[in-house]
Amino acid sequence: MTDTPLLDIRGLSKTFGSVEALTDVDFEVRPGEVMALVGDNGAGKSTLIKCVAGIHGYDSGEIVFDGEPVSIHGPKDAARLGIEVVYQDLALCDNLDVVQNMYLGREVHDWLYRLKEPVMEQHTAETLKSLAVTTIRSIRQPVASLSGGQRQSVAVAKAVQWNSRLVILDEPTAALGVAQTRQVLELVKRLAEQGLAVVLISHNLHDIFEVATRITVLRLGRDVGVYEREKTTQQEVVHAITAGIPTKVAGIAEAEAGVAT
């Protein structure tokens, strides 16, 4: 793992009318790491992700990707950079099978526009295998017949199959039982092991402490701390979520008090 961030957000601010959804937020994630993004309801997590995904514009700040300042004006800009987001509910079409979902909008066909089913089937099987998604019996079954964990696994596989470099998961385990949550968390770990940068939004600190390398806490639209998983406790993170002071304000207070940083 390198220390250079793949995604480096600097001083991002975003308002919706009079609501300050994000104020001067810094956020980074490195290749090969799982960065958790946590905070109470309305803290700004989804808004921050939507700015990166090109769904929202932002008022000020900078997004640096792979060392270069980038402007992301729509989901296609994000996809071109290798940024993929898995949203909890919008991920899959129930009536289509696994292969059709994997290739939705990106179907492979020959010069007569006949679908190349064997090519898509083989690639789907290989992608699932490379991610060790082994419990799906047939890739020709409609995703409506899959378990919640299997569906989430297909959604993740779909997102990462196009040479993506950063994958963002917004609450991927919120609706899952214990065993299925385990499946998805294992998959999250594997993505990072394969060198992707992973952002994991979750309200479940237990899950986060199992897979995250670092944890960024947002509170009331501001970043209030970045914690290394191995050097922090759930208690410290909960305290930041409920009572954290913005990092930059804390920095100024420390400097004024003459504390060396």
Ligand X SMILES: Nc1ncnc2c1ncn2[C@@H]1O[C@H](COP(=O)(O)OP(=O)(O)OP(=O)(O)O)[C@@H](O)[C@H]1O
Interaction site with ligand X (CB under 6 A): 16, 19, 21, 39, 41-47
In angstroms, give the least distance from the CB of 178 to ligand X. Answer: 22
Q: Which does 31 bind (CB under 5 to 8 A by kind): Mg ion, ligand X, none?
A: none
Q: Which does 41 bind (CB under 5 to 8 A by kind): ligand X, Mg ion, none?
A: ligand X
Q: Is 247 in the site for Mg ion (CB under 5 A)?
A: no
Identity of residue 81: L
Residues of this chain, 188-207, that bind Mg ion according to CB under 5 A: none
In angstroms, give the least distance from the CB of 121 to ligand X. Answer: 36
In angstroms, give the least distance from the CB of 242 to ligand X. Answer: 14
Q: Is 173 in the site for Mg ion (CB under 5 A)?
A: no
Measured CA to CA, the distance from residue 74 to residue 52 in angstroms comes to 9
**Measured from the CB atom, is 97 or 170 closer to Mg ion?**
170
Q: Which does 162 bind (CB under 5 to 8 A by kind): Mg ion, ligand X, none?
A: none
Q: Following DSSP, what letter does each residue of the chain receive, concatenated?
A: --SS-SEEEEEEEEEETTEEEEEEEEEEE-TT-EEEEE-STTSSHHHHHHHHHTSS--SEEEEEETTEEE---SHHHHHHHTEEEE-TTTS--TTSBHHHHHTTT---B-TT--B-HHHHHHHHHHHHHHTT----S-TTSBGGGS-HHHHHHHHHHHHHTTT-SEEEEESTTTT--HHHHHHHHHHHHHHHHTT-EEEEE-S-HHHHHHH-SEEEEEETTEEEEEEEGGG--HHHHHHHHHHPPPHHHHHHHHHHTT---
Tokens of 254: 């420390």
**Measured from the CB atom, is 128 or 169 closer to Mg ion?**
169
Measured CA to CA, the distance from residue 163 to residue 201 in angstroms comes to 22
String marking each residue 6-45 x if it binds Mg ion according to CB under 5 A: ---------------------------------------x
Q: Which does 47 bind (CB under 5 to 8 A by kind): Mg ion, ligand X, none?
A: ligand X
Q: Which does 183 bind (CB under 5 to 8 A by kind): ligand X, Mg ion, none?
A: none
- Which residue is at the shortest CB distance from Mg ion? 46
Q: Which does 219 bind (CB under 5 to 8 A by kind): ligand X, Mg ion, none?
A: none
In angstroms, give the least distance from the CB of 97 to ligand X. Answer: 31
In angstroms, give the least distance from the CB of 185 to ligand X. Answer: 19
Q: Please select the residue that binds Mg ion; options are 28, 30, 46, 152, rule is CB under 5 A.
A: 46
Q: What are phi and psi of 161, to 5 degrees?
A: -75, -15
